Amino acid sequence: MGMSPFVEGILAGYGIAIPVGAVAILIVNTAIRCGFSIGFMAGAGAATADLLYAVLASVAGVALTEVLEPLASPLRILGGLVLIGLASVGLWQGLKRTNHIEKTAEACAPLKMYAQFVGITVINPLTVVYFAALILGRGASAAQYSFLANTLFVVGAGLASLSWQTLLAAVGGVAGSRLSARFRLLATVFGNLVVLALAARILVTAII
């Protein structure tokens, strides 16, 4: 008896969410700087993008992968540039040490943060390729490609991704509330430098 589509989706969601990358680091940094609730919105944005890709992979599988393959390098370049921009802004905000509550509130607006993380996660073409490969490898039976099976798979993937992103936000929120201002600043600077390094790696692999 095969594994249920819901469990397959959960495993797939954790498979794409758990590997630590630039988005994960940005979520932790956001929670350190703005608190758990804003970090949760950032994570929910990333999870929403994973959910959308799971839907697209379920519906369009091979066709979508073939369409995106020629665009992989341009999308990686775009993603790398966006990450460099976000990390640069994060460094600037962390180093200027502003005390203006209005500016902090504006920078930590929940809906803005949600939309921003949907966008930076969506531009990663590797996510849809990952889900498409999983859909294609789920088994030879045509019944496994039914609407119900794909729906359960997508729901499982979305819930798994959201739970992991929430854990990242919780880690950042606890760190932000319990650590000294100096340590939070160092953590923010270090995290954004790591994102810059990951973005540079993305650009190099896309260009070479």
Residue ranges per structural domain of the chain: 5-207
pLDDT digit string, tens, across residues 38-56:
999 999 999 999 888 888 7
- The model's pLDDT over 166-201, given as tens digits with 9 standing for 90+, comes to 999 999 999 888 777 777 778 778 877 888 887 787
The 10s digit of each residue's pLDDT in 53-79 is 888 777 766 666 666 667 667 877 887
Q: Which residue has the tokens 């608190």?
A: 35
pLDDT score recorded for residue 118: 94
Amino acid letter for position 179: L
- In this structure, the number of other CB atoms found within 10 A of the CB of residue 182 comes to 8
Question: What is the number of H-type helices and E-type strands within the chain?
Answer: 9, 0
pLDDT tens per residue across span 104-155: 555 788 999 999 999 988 876 566 666 666 655 555 443 446 788 888 888 9
DSSP state of 18: S
More confident residue, 203 or 119: 119
Beta carbons of 62 and 202 less than 8 angstroms apart: no
What is the reported pLDDT for 100?
47
The one-letter amino acid at 36: F
More confident residue, 124 or 80: 80
Q: Compute the radius of gyration of the chain from its Cα atoms.
A: 18
The predicted structure's pLDDT at residue 185: 77
> Distance (Å, rounded) from C-alpha 131 to C-alpha 205?
21
